[in-house]
Structure 1
């Protein structure tokens, strides 16, 4: 009989429990209906949020200089460097002679010959004048004088006085001496130019305008005849179309590669606005870029050209801002989060979002740093609901339990069962 009584008692208790459950769940404004089990919560933190582009790159020289040679106007002699040579600004690269100099030399020599001929003519003329002048006496005129000489004197030798004739000869000799001196100076100038051309004709040397390394020498004399790369290293890569919308010149970069534990730092120095290949509908366009690497001192090992790097481009960064995990943000017409109040309620708070990256969401307007929010509810949550949390047995103390009244014990036990 006692066994049947126990079965009957258990059955009655079960029916009562189920009935109470149904009643409480169906009753409007039921306390149980509005109680949320909160298993995951987190505090709003002051954090740094960094938005980045993750891509790849390769170590390459920052600049490349091309040297050209005009084979139509010049005659090449020899190279003075080899591929792979390290050079400095002013280093000799190659020698050549120029056909233009030969033409200039011929013109100058012809001009010099003409000037020397004029000097010889003037000297001969001055000699005649001095000879005629020596025969001049006070009693007689000059006999048998050349018509050209008489014409240059601009006087009538038959009617002019002896003193006037002497004066005319002296003036003409002085005039011719001045002309001779002028031509002598011209010959000296032409000799200087010819001497300079002679020196240049022996070997004209082309020099480098910057420090670097000789990358390529074209022995067939096709241009560029020499290519020089700078000693400063950078990182070359390509952005996708989506990355191009975020990337800008000047953005900070960090790069890591297998040969070094220490990360490289720098910034984006150049972004090409035209794709690396002709635009096509069949494939995504890629836009070349170049990142500059900050020098880190003389102790840093030189970077190996061609080394592959993992590149991080920092497109946006905010430090010390309120942030929550992105899964804590919910959406209807506006984004909102659930805040857990000290009075035991779950309240909906609309927020104004800021930067989102790395699984974090910046809060510009909304709960403050230190506020507790619901991370990810297991069920739909109504605004201003009560909440309970799982028992942390390591924090449960018998002394605290004894302080509850019998009614409170039954109430909390029932709430726990119904929530489960």
Structure 2
């Protein structure tokens, strides 16, 4: 029986070779706000490993008053276009698709980052994580930022990308949508339809700038999971409004809010303290309520869960983002019948540390130019002695053996594992 994860899939004119993707994230490899060599090599490794779609640019900023707070890309300038063109050539040359996430942080920005401009938002509601008190947007701010989204989409199109997604949850579009952050008395606040108005203007500008031969997605919260915010039914109603306008091609579903540390750690990017795929069931319910394809990522770390999500009709594309950080060749191993050789993601969240995208299980991640994931044979076979059978010693022995050397591993204890054994108690 064929593997549902390896079945092809299409949206508009864009064909995906399988159902496995990586969602956008701020990988920490940008250079002055641009996706340089290390950034591109990091994503190219996933494309080489067989992934269908790699998204990049977690929270790429469209305007100067949405500053880089966690090392995002800057798509608010034409300087980015040649970087994107080279990036697209590399990813497409490996048979994968490439998209960028664009956004305006709104109140989630910091007034002391970038050019020290005031943060802006639909209303003067303080952001609890970054602590900014935003300026309430006037009509000039609204028009200016809508145009900035369109200009950013145009740059991505000229850069040869297959599409973009605009982020709502916790960011400016989502701040307009949520009654917890939108207290405006004008035509952009109050009723649900009014709160959709800014986002609808953004997607209209994006579609006008990018045309119909370009995918446009909505990184969309399906339930804010907090009192005073958007509940599931409201999110479904909003989604149908955006579908009816005809400017978007897919939803990339997320759960919860990101304006607190606990919200980020539990709702948006759950780690090892959370169960696997904690939001898959509600996202599956959301998919049954909408007509557009639905993507999703939240600790879908193993093949069995990913396969269940696709086979059960819960998702159209399954995002194994951190699993791809642990093993960017995950898909290739699946094609080759080597599922048992996939390096597992255990949710340690090292990849979200200040040193990201480092991985507990893969020293080569983020260092592709210096440490190849595929270890080549050495020109001359040597005898290698490794003292210590902890994680470092085991990895050194593995790499030396793959290089073709004669390896001897010595460990004083009666079991291999070192400090991993202590952590497992």
TM-score by length of 1: 0.16
Which of the pair is proportionally richer in strand? 1
User: RCO higher in 1 or 2 (8 Å CA, sep ≥ 6)?
Assistant: 1
Q: Which is greater in Rg?
A: 1
TM-score by length of 2: 0.16
